[in-house]
Every structure is written in structure tokens, then in C-alpha cells.
């Protein structure tokens, strides 16, 4: 049942990260998403260096070879996350997060297809009882339904915005309207690839022979390089060095990066234990994001949104109960 608790902790951490990502986003700063990437790169890079003595890497050349193999997964994640940061400039958390995390349902399907096609559905991956299927199905349906609901609400809001031509030009939501949904949609696509790749890579039968600590190190170092690249880009474009440790930058961006790293640790261990069931459950961290945005950012929720949230929570509870019963047998 450890995968369940790892996934539960992951979704709590990442839900908190979403809140601080939004609080740390400046809608008027066109480089806000890159500044967040710098912070996440710093924290993940530091985490990777701390874990390095505990890894099973025997040489730098071996680590470099494994890094190349893990590149498709790590780059997919990094691209999706930076796209997600950019989307927060134009859309509320309660819209962005659910659309993005429909990837949990899609990656679960992708992994099932891959494991079935390769004949590697072992006991851990194949432990899909009727209760587990119902719980996972509720989560998947709830995530997709919430994404569709948010899409529809965003389009209605964009169409309903009124005012003079000058007001419309100044209004970022009106200016981008439903086009802003391209950000979370692209996030969903790249995150689906990354999550499915992680599930395959971390699996003992189909993977690259990498352990959880090794994956955390490779991902952290890759994000550190991406963060350094973002810092250099900012230097070139703005003609002055970005100081991530300035007081106004540290509070929210730093908190978001710490929550991200905490969630990443639990995510890797959950995916290593049971990727097919963990993927949609982890993706349901958008439910935490939606609830926190309602409480702290005063974003309003409609009845249809609450229904989707309830479905996902019910699915998580069912998975927890089924895993608990399984432990008792």
C-alpha cells in the first residue's frame, strides 16, 4: 500500500506548489515563467546534489549515459512545466490545473497499452481488482470531466467580456480568450509523454535499470541546467542579471519550488511501486489546487466543478480502501 501513501503525499505537495506558482506569477511580466523555472532548477539541482552520495552511479560516464537515456522523460516534464508556468499569466489555477492534469488518465491508458503489447503486465501492474478499476475510473472520468468543464467555462467567460475596444485590448483574458487554453493543453500532451515514460522506465521489467534515487538525481540535474539556461536567457533579453534571492522573488517562487521538489520525491517512489494506478491518482493533485485556489485566491467554483471534485475524491477513497483491504488479506 506504500504507493498509495506516496501518491497521496505527492498530490498534496503538488497542489500546494500550484498555489504558490500562481501567487508567484506576475501577469505583467512576460518572463515570469522563466523566473519560476530558475527557482525550480535551483531547488531540484540542490536536491540532486544532496542525493548524489546515496546513488548507485559508479562513474560520471555511466551517469552521463543514463542521463541521455532519461532525457525524453525529463525534457517532456520540463517543457510541460514551463508551458504551465506561462499559462498561469492568463488563466486561474482552477482552470489551468484540471486541464493540465487530464494527462494522468491519458498516461495510464498509454502505459496499459505498452505493458499489454510487450507482455510485461506483472503482478504489481496487473493487480487491478474491480474496486481498483472503479476507483481509477472515477479519478480518470473526474479529471477529464473537470478539464472539459473548465474549458467550457473559460470560453463562456471570454465571450461574455464586454467593454470598449480599448478596454478589450487591455484585458488579457479577452485578448487571449480560449486561445490561452493552449498552454494547459500543451502541458497535458507533454506531461502525458513524461509520465508514461517514467512508468515504463521505473518498471523493473521494461525500465532502464534506474532506481528512484538515480531518477531523482537525473531529473534534478536536468532541471538545474534548464534553470541556468533560463537565467542566461533573461540576462541576454533584459540586459541585467536576474536575482532569484531578492525578497519579492524568494517567498512564493521559493515555496513553489520546495513543494515541487517534495512532490517529485513522493511521485518517483509511487510510480516505481505501481505506475498504472499511481499516475491518475497523482494527477488528481489538481483537486487540491482547485480547493486551495477557492480558499486563498477566492476563485469561484460552480456546481459542475464541485461534482467533478467529488468524483475524484471518491475514486481516491475507493483506492485507499481497496489497498487497505488488500494489505489485510
Per-residue pLDDT of the chain (329 residues; tens, 9 = 90+): 688 899 999 999 999 999 999 899 988 898 999 999 999 999 999 999 999 999 999 888 989 988 888 988 899 999 999 998 888 877 767 667 777 777 877 787 788 788 777 776 554 444 556 777 788 788 878 877 877 776 676 667 666 655 545 455 445 544 454 566 678 888 888 998 998 888 888 876 666 678 899 999 999 999 999 999 999 999 999 999 999 999 889 999 999 999 999 999 999 999 888 887 888 888 888 788 888 888 888 877 778 878 887 888 888 878 777 756 555 45
> What does the block give as the cell for 62?
555511466
Q: What is the pLDDT of residue 178?
A: 53
> What does the block give as the cell for 142?
473526474
- Integer Cα distance of 317 and 310 in angstroms: 10
> What does the block give as the cell for 298?
477566492
Environment class of 117 (CB within 10 Å of its CB; exposed 0-12, middle 13-18, buried 19+): exposed
Element containing residue 108 per DSSP (H, E):
helix 103-118
Q: Which of 137, 100, 133 is nearest to 21 (CA)?
A: 100
> What does the block give as the cell for 11?
498530490
Instruction: Quote the pTM value.
Output: 0.82
- Integer Cα distance of 288 and 304 in angstroms: 16
Q: What is the pLDDT of residue 159?
A: 64
Amino acid at each position: 500500500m506504500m504507493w498509495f501513501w506516496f501518491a497521496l503525499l505527492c498530490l498534496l505537495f503538488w497542489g500546494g506548489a500550484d498555489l504558490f506558482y500562481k501567487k508567484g506569477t506576475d501577469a505583467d511580466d512576460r518572463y515570469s515563467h522563466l523566473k519560476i523555472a530558475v527557482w525550480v532548477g535551483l531547488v531540484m539541482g540542490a536536491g540532486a546534489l544532496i542525493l548524489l552520495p546515496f546513488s548507485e552511479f559508479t562513474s560520471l560516464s555511466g551517469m552521463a549515459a543514463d542521463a541521455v537515456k532519461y532525457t525524453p522523460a525529463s525534457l517532456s516534464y520540463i517543457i510541460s512545466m514551463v508551458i504551465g508556468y506561462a499559462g498561469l499569466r492568463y488563466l486561474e489555477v482552477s482552470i489551468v490545473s484540471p486541464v493540465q492534469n487530464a494527462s494522468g488518465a491519458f498516461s495510464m491508458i498509454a502505459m496499459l497499452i505498452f505493458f499489454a503489447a510487450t507482455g510485461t503486465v506483472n503482478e504489481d501492474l496487473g493487480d487491478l481488482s474491480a474496486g481498483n478499476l472503479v476507483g481509477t475510473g472515477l479519478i480518470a472520468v473526474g479529471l477529464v470531466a473537470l478539464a472539459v468543464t473548465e474549458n467550457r467555462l473559460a470560453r463562456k467567460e471570454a465571450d461574455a467580456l464586454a467593454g470598449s475596444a480599448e478596454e478589450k485590448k487591455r484585458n488579457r483574458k479577452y485578448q487571449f480568450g480560449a486561445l490561452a487554453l493552449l498552454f494547459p493543453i500543451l502541458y497535458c500532451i507533454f506531461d502525458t509523454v513524461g509520465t508514461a515514460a517514467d512508468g515504463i522506465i521505473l518498471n523493473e521489467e521494461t525500465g532502464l535499470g534506474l532506481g528512484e534515487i538515480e531518477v531523482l538525481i537525473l531529473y534534478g540535474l536536468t532541471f538545474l541546467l534548464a534553470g541556468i539556461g533560463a537565467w542566461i536567457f533573461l540576462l541576454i533579453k533584459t540586459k541585467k542579471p536576474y536575482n532569484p534571492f531578492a525578497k519579492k522573488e524568494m517567498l512564493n517562487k521559493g515555496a513553489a519550488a520546495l513543494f515541487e521538489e517534495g512532490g517529485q520525491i513522493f511521485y518517483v517512489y509511487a510510480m516505481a511501486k505501481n505506475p498504472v494506478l499511481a499516475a491518475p491518482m497523482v494527477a488528481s493533485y489538481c483537486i487540491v489546487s482547485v480547493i486551495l485556489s477557492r480558499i486563498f485566491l477566492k476563485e469561484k467554483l460552480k456546481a459542475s466543478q464541485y461534482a467533478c471534485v467529488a468524483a475524484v475524491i471518491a475514486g481516491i477513497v475507493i483506492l485507499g480502501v481497496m489497498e487497505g483491504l488488500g494489505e489485510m488479506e
